[in-house]
Structure 1
Amino acid sequence: MWLRQIKIGSRLITAFGLLGLVLLLQGLMSLQTMSSMRASSEEIEKNTLPTLVTLSNINLNVMRARVFTFRLLLADSAAERDKGLETLRQIRENIETDQKAYEPLISLPGEQALYQDFSHNLELYLQNQDQMISKLQANDTTEAKRIMDEVMTLQADKITKTLISIGDLNTEYAGKQGEVTAQAYEESKLLNSVVIIASLIAAFIVATLLTRSIVQPMKEAVDISVTVASGDLTQKISADGED
């Protein structure tokens, strides 16, 4: 038997080394899978979720801008109108802050183009809002109402649709990332199952071969002892291997 050409100590070291190598391989595959899953979750945690939250804030402030712009038309006094103008100023600052927070998060194909479309329509909306406010301050309520109904409403609708499109794009991406994570988990489970089964088979084969390589020379030694004890000294004794 070829294993008998190797010393017993070396056989044991080799056998346990092979089993250790299998365990190492299994561990490396698990680490790779966990790294892939972590990368996907980090992308969602650090980009997708902040993007959706920021877009939601922008959309909310745009809606508030529309509401308070309409309230300006209904203001009964200069004090009420001034209060509405101050609220609109704060809303504009909030939108600008949210835009600055969102811009570094742009990463998906087509997202930059959608954002540029949003920024363009928002700029036009704010310009027309300024014109409407100027008309109100000049007591030209009719023209102010026309600007809001015929111009600003259409621009606000475009802004909302663009924000929804950006949100849908990020939501779809988050769904795909979730699918990637789930697929990585399933693949890891399959690979680990295969490695476990292969490890058991390899352990059985190694244990069988190692046991036979140790037991066989002991059996031969016992047979020789029996032969010698019986008084038969004519049998040829041969020693194979290094054990």
Structure 2
Amino acid sequence: MSIRSLNIAPRAGLGFGLLALMVFGLGAFALLQMSNMRAQSDQVDNNWLPSVMAVGEMSQDMLRLRALTMRLLINRDPQALEQNVGKLNELKSSLGQAQQRYDALIVLPEERTLFDRFKAAEQKYLEFQGQVMNLSAQGQVADAAAILNGEMSPLADDIAVTLKALVELNKHNATLATEAARLVFSDSRVWVGVMVTIAALMTIGLALLLTRSIVLPLAQSLRVAEVVAGGDLTGDIHITGKDEPARLLHALKSMQHNLRDTIRRISDSSSQLASASEELSCVTEDATRGLHQQSLEIEQAATAVNQMTAAVEEVASNA
């Protein structure tokens, strides 16, 4: 369907509607990319960073737990022992809370595997640590030191390695999320630039198309009107479309046709009038010639009468 099949108002509405649609599409794309960047940023803020902090707290609590356990065997002052036992219980509670926070943040299978490995080692470590506390309370320092330096030492090393692996894993994923956000931003900048360029070109194209679809038919109508006003009714008017300029050309074409028919009828009437005038002129000339002939004949008759009168008078005078 040609654009000239639409009237100017719907055509303009369609053009501006397309422009609005392009602007809406560009805005929607920009919002989508911003949402993607926000999602990556939220992953860093709400998952990876809190996970690193939670693992850091667990690592710190484990180090303090190990240090306070060793202090039980070094500082045997009853008051110090009581304080250390209280601190150890607080650390165990804090460690449990940090584990709960971290457990809710786990999203990767390998992260879950490492955390389960940590909990298994931690459970064994705390069991041995409880034995050390009991032996310390009973004054069996040598047995407690044997457990601390024996079974608990490799468990502590394994826990440290596991926590370090968890920290590295979360840092790595935080870096990936940051890079993904940066990549989304870079791609968004390119795509938004491309879409803005396309939208600008389409806007220019639509503006030119809409303007030409209105101006050119009006210019054609103006030329036709000027030709008709100049007295030339022989031109052929080509009409395309169904819009207002097309209807104007239809009206001009009808006017041209009607004027041409009127002038033709006037010309025919003039020709008939000229023929009648010629015939009347011929009749008048014939009548004039007849009258002239009659006048000559009358003059001849008058002359003859005069001659006869003169002859009669002469005869009368001679008699």
- What TM-score, normalized by structure 2, do the two folds share? 0.71
In the alignment, structure 1 segments of 5+ residues that lack a partner are none
Indicate the structure whose relative CO is greater, using CA pairs within 8 Å and at least 6 residues apart.
Answer: 1
User: 1:82 offset after TM fit, Å?
Assistant: 1.5
**Aligned position for 1:206:** 206
The CA deviation string for residues 71-130 of structure 1, in whole angstroms up to 9 with x for no partner, is 111214222212111111111111112112221212112111111111111111111112
**Aligned position for 2:307:** none
**Aligned position for 1:47:** 47
User: 1:131 offset after TM fit, Å?
Assistant: 1.8
**Aligned equivalents of 1:171 and 1:146: distance in 2?**
37
The CA deviation string for residues 107-163 of structure 1, in whole angstroms up to 9 with x for no partner, is 112111111111111111111112222222332222222221222222111111111
Which residue type is aligned with residue 158 of structure 2? K
Output aligned runs, 1:140-219, within 5 Å: 140-219=140-219
**Aligned position for 2:65:** 65
Helix, strand or coil at the partner of 1:232 = coil
**Aligned equivalents of 2:240 and 2:144: distance in 1?**
108
Output aligned runs, 1:83-122, within 5 Å: 83-122=83-122
The CA deviation string for residues 29-58 of structure 1, in whole angstroms up to 9 with x for no partner, is 112212222222222222222211111111
The CA deviation string for residues 196-233 of structure 1, in whole angstroms up to 9 with x for no partner, is 11112111221112111111122122212322332323
**Aligned equivalents of 2:73 and 2:80: distance in 1?**
11
In the alignment, structure 2 segments of 5+ residues that lack a partner are 245-319
- What TM-score, normalized by structure 1, do the two folds share? 0.92
Would you say how many aligned residue pairs link Structure 1 and Structure 2?
243
Q: Is 2:64 aligned against 1:56?
A: no
Against the structure 1 CA distance between its residues 236 and 112, is the aligned structure 2 distance closer, same or farther, given a 3 Å change threshold? closer
Output aligned runs, 1:14-33, within 5 Å: 14-33=14-33
Which residue type is aligned with residue 231 of structure 1? G
Output aligned runs, 1:117-128, within 5 Å: 117-128=117-128
**Aligned equivalents of 1:2 and 1:81: distance in 2?**
95
User: 1:26 offset after TM fit, Å?
Assistant: 0.9
Please report the RMSD computed on the Cα atoms of aligned residues, expressed in angstroms: 1.8
**Aligned position for 2:223:** 223
Extract structure 1 runs of 4+ deviating beyond 6 A: none
Which residue type is aligned with residue 141 of structure 1? V
Which residue type is aligned with residue 180 of structure 1? A
**Aligned equivalents of 2:3 and 2:85: distance in 1?**
92
Against the structure 1 CA distance between its residues 128 and 215, is the aligned structure 2 distance closer, same or farther, given a 3 Å change threshold? same
**Aligned equivalents of 1:43 and 1:194: distance in 2?**
29
